[in-house]
Amino acid sequence: MTDATTATGRVILVGGGPGDPGLLTVAGRDALAAADVVVTDRLGPVAALDEIAPQAEIVHVGKIPRGEFTPQERINELLVEHARAGRTVVRLKGGDGYLFGRGGEEWNHCVAAGVPVEAVPGVSSAFSVPALAGIPVTHRGLSQGVAVVSGHVAPDDPCSEVDWAALATSRLTIVILMGVATLGAIAEALVAAGLSPDTPAACIADGATPQQRSVRAPLSQIASAADEGGFAPPAITVVGDVVGALDSPAPTSP
C-alpha cells in the first residue's frame, strides 16, 4: 500500500466556464480527464463530468443561496486531504475561479499545506453571459471600460466594500454578480448618486444553459422586472448604454 504521507498528489483549480460544457477550455477538459477526484460546485459543467471524467470520484460541495452549504474551510481541507493521498484533484468551479470564486483562498491553503497547485483559467460568466444575451460589455462610442462588482450585500450593509457612488459617475459599464436579492437597493443607490434612472439595464438568469432568459428595463425598473419574471440566482445584471448596443440579427432563411 502506498504511504499517504509521502505520496502527495496535486490540485488543479479549473474554471469551468458559465455552464455550457462547450465553453469549458481545452486545458480544463484535459485536467478533468486526468483527475482522480473532482471537487465541484453546482455552477460548473457538472452534467458533462460523466463524459469528460468517468474515472473520477465526484465530490459535490454546492453553495446554494439559503440552502445546502459546504463551508469554505471544509472545501480547503478536502483538496489537501485528497492530494496528500496521492491523488490528482480538480477543483471545478463555474466561470473563472478567481472572480468571486474564492480560488485564491484555495490556492493559498494548498501552498501552506505543501501541496502542488496550479490554475486553469475559465471563461468568466461576467463577460460571456451578457455576450450570449446580445450585450457587449464594452462598445466603441458607448463604454471604454467595465467594472465587475459583487452585489452579495446591499449598498447600505456595513459589510459592503463597493463604492457605488463612484461607480454611478464612472461612465463605465457595471456588471453585477450575485445581486438578485439586492438589485432594488443597488439601483436606488446608483440613482441617488447621480446615475440616470433611465440608464439601460438587463438581468440575465441561468446564463449559458437551455434555461437562459433575460429581461431589459430602465435602471429604476430592472429590479421589479426581474422580480416579476421570477428571476433567481444565478443571474447577472448589466447596467449601461451597452445594453442596447447591438442590432437584432436579420432572420435566417428557412
Residues acting as catalytic residues = 41, 63, 178
- Cis previous bond, 234, omega within 30: yes
- Torsion angle (degrees, nearest 10) of CA 51, 55, 59, 63: -20
Q: Are 176 and 167 in contact (CB under 8 A)?
A: no
Picking from 96, 112, 84, the residue whose alpha carbon sits closest to that of residue 41 is 96
> Alpha carbon of 240 to those of 39, 62, 138, 168, 244: distances in Å?
36, 32, 9, 10, 9
Picking from 37, 85, 83, 84, the residue whose alpha carbon sits closest to that of residue 61 is 37
- Which burial class, exposed, middle or buried, applies to 145 when counting CB atoms under 10 A from its CB (0-12, 13-18, 19+)? exposed
C-alpha cell at 103: 480560488
DSSP 98: T
* Phi and psi, residue 42, nearest 5°: -70, -20
C-alpha cell at 71: 463551508
